[in-house]
């Protein structure tokens, strides 16, 4: 159904002369002038599947920051990696007719968990448990990338000032709506201190920002492509950010969630206090910014935030161990 809808938009973009379709006519004419033929709309007004000389590519519109990430960061990442695939940019630039753009090679893979959603009730979507190892493999590869050469690039950096401003803004919103008590707000500021303490030190790591299933593409050779790097970020707690972000969104998949955190602890040696602080920052942001207009989902993220604030729950979570095939929490 989705594929037919997108193909219909491609036809609209070709033949209807009024807005917003007219932009597509302009873009496709521009692509044609560069030797590309448009095959399909992948994201309305943002991305197309195109081909040139029989080879498939993806054309994407970007912000100036997104273009800098592709040109100054992703093009310089050294591989190959054991599991991770970073999309390869072919060309890019800025044009007064269409703005900033890139063309990257088409990745012939399939979504890792196509039917998963962070918005559905538990047990409605079952995630294959064997995918945990692949995701942790990708994190291991990410952790090998030294992002310090990219600090001068136009890329988001989670420093103390950025975090303080974001937390202060979202805490104020939560307080105004009565979602957090004064005691909980005080606790938040206490527990995020481990992030403030390391924001200016390094080692520096890189991620695509949105480390979750919609951006995992399984390749035929077993590797995993990580997509959507346009809002990539650098921090000294980036691996903990990725782990806490995916763990947070897996609220409806408890078995996968437990196995994922267990493996990241064992294999990556993630820092407990950084993980906890990142979980607080991520769940607060998800509740007050991303899902602020969706009360049911917002309530789920406030629940995750309260779990992170609860010392006993965090002790039980971090003290889990394996007995046979089961993961047992400490009590």
Q: Which residues of 1-29 are buried (b: 16+ CB within 10 A; e: fewer)?
A: eeeeeeeebbeebeeeeeeebeebbebbe
Query: What per-residue confidence (pLDDT) applies to 4?
Result: 52
pTM summary value: 0.89
Give the tokens for residue 138.
């990708």
Residue of 290, 291, 329 whose CA lies nearest to 312: 329
**For the chain, give me the number of helices (H) and strands (E)?**
12, 14
- % residues pLDDT > 70 (the chain): 90
Residue 75's nearest CA partner among 93, 63, 61 is 93
What lies within 8 Å, CB to CB, of 19 at 6+ separation is none
CA distance linking residue 25 with residue 145, whole number of Å: 40
Domains annotated on the chain, with CATH: 2-107 (3.30.200.20), 111-328 (3.90.1200.10)
Using one digit for the tens of pLDDT, what is the confidence trace for 169-202? 999 999 999 999 999 999 999 999 999 998 888 8
CB 61 within 8 A of CB 98: yes
Helices 272-285 + 311-318 axis angle, to 10: 120
Q: How confident is the prediction for the chain on average, in pLDDT?
A: 88
Orientation angle between helical segments 254-268 and 131-143, nearest 10 degrees:
40
Instruction: Show the CA angle centred on residue 118, arms to residues 113 and 281, nearest 5°.
Output: 120
Q: Tokens representing 182?
A: 């004064």
**What pLDDT does 153 receive?**
77
pLDDT digits (tens, 9 = 90+) for 256-298: 999 999 999 999 999 999 999 999 999 999 999 999 999 999 9
Say how far apart CA 228 and CA 217 lie, in whole Å.
11
Cα 131 from chain centre: 17
Spatial CA neighbour of 59 closest among 72, 76, 68, 46? 46
More confident residue, 73 or 330: 73
Which residues contact residue 111 at a Cβ distance below 8 angstroms, ignoring those fewer than 6 apart? 213, 214, 216, 217, 218
Alpha-carbon gap, residue 28 to 164, rounded angstroms:
43
Lowest mean pLDDT among 147-156, 163-172, 248-257: 147-156
Classify burial at 203, counting beta carbons within 10 Å of its beta carbon; exposed 0-12, middle 13-18, buried 19 or more: exposed
pLDDT confidence bin for 2, thresholds 50/70/90:
very low
């Amino acid at each position: 159904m989705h594929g037919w809808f997108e193909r219909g938009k491609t036809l609209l973009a070709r033949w209807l002369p009024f807005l917003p379709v007219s932009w597509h006519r302009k873009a496709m004419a521009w692509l044609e002038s560069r030797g590309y033929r448009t095959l399909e709309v992948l994201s309305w007004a943002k991305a197309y599947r195109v081909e040139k000389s029989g080879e498939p590519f993806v054309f994407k519109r970007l912000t100036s920051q997104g273009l800098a990430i592709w040109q100054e960061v992703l093009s310089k990442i050294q591989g190959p990696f054991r599991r991770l695939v970073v999309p390869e940019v072919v060309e890019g630039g800025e044009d007064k007719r269409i703005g900033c753009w890139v063309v990257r090679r088409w990745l012939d893979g399939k979504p890792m968990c196509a039917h998963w959603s962070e918005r559905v009730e538990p047990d409605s979507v079952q995630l294959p448990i064997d995918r945990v190892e692949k995701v942790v493999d990708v994190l291991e590869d990410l952790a090998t990338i030294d992002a310090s050469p990219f600090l001068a690039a136009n890329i988001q950096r989670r420093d103390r000032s950025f975090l303080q401003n974001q937390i202060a803004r979202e805490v104020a919103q939560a307080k105004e709506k009565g979602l957090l008590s004064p005691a909980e707000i005080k606790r938040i500021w206490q527990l995020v201190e481990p992030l403030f303490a390391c924001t200016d030190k390094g080692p520096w790591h890189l991620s695509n920002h949105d480390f979750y299933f919609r951006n995992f593409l399984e390749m035929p050779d077993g590797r995993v492509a990580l997509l959507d790097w346009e809002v990539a970020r650098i921090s000294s707690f980036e691996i903990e950010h990725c782990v806490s972000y995916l763990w947070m969104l897996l609220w409806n998949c408890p078995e996968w969630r437990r196995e994922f955190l267990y493996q990241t602890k064992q294999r990556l040696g993630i820092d407990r206090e950084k993980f906890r602080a990142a979980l607080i920052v991520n769940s607060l942001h998800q509740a007050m910014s991303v899902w602020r207009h969706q009360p049911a989902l917002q309530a789920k993220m406030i629940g995750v935030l309260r779990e992170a604030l609860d010392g006993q729950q965090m002790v039980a979570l971090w003290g889990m161990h394996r007995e046979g095939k089961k993961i047992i929490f400490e009590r």
